């Protein structure tokens, strides 16, 4: 499977949850959605990964990606 074939979303973008999505995106994986209890945390991550969006619920994230 190609890195670009899989859309990935992250739930929990706090202090510990920021590193993995940034690293995966840097390696060419499609990180397309982020959710966190604090919307501004998800927005912070989304602003640093092209094509990534902050979403308002875990369900919305799960419905929009291949891998959570």
Domain boundaries, the chain: 3-64
Per the CATH hierarchy, to which homologous superfamily does domain 3-64 belong?
NAD(P)-binding Rossmann-like Domain (3.40.50.720)
Banded pLDDT at 61 (limits 50, 70, 90): very high
What is the Cα 55 distance to its own chain's centre?
A: 9
For residue 3, with 0-12 CB atoms within 10 Å meaning exposed, 13-18 middle and 19 or more buried, which class applies?
exposed
Per-residue pLDDT, averaged over 30-51, amounts to: 98
For residue 31, with 0-12 CB atoms within 10 Å meaning exposed, 13-18 middle and 19 or more buried, which class applies?
buried
Banded pLDDT at 15 (limits 50, 70, 90): confident
The pTM of the full predicted model, rounded to 2 decimals, is 0.92
């Amino acid at each position: 499977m190609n890195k670009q074939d899989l859309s990935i979303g992250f739930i929990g973008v706090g202090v510990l949850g920021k590193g993995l999505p940034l690293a995966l995106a840097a390696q060419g994986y499609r990180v397309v959605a982020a959710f966190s209890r604090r919307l501004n945390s998800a927005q912070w991550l989304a602003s640093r990964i092209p094509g990534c969006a902050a979403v308002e619920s875990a369900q919305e994230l799960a419905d929009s990606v291949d891998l959570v």
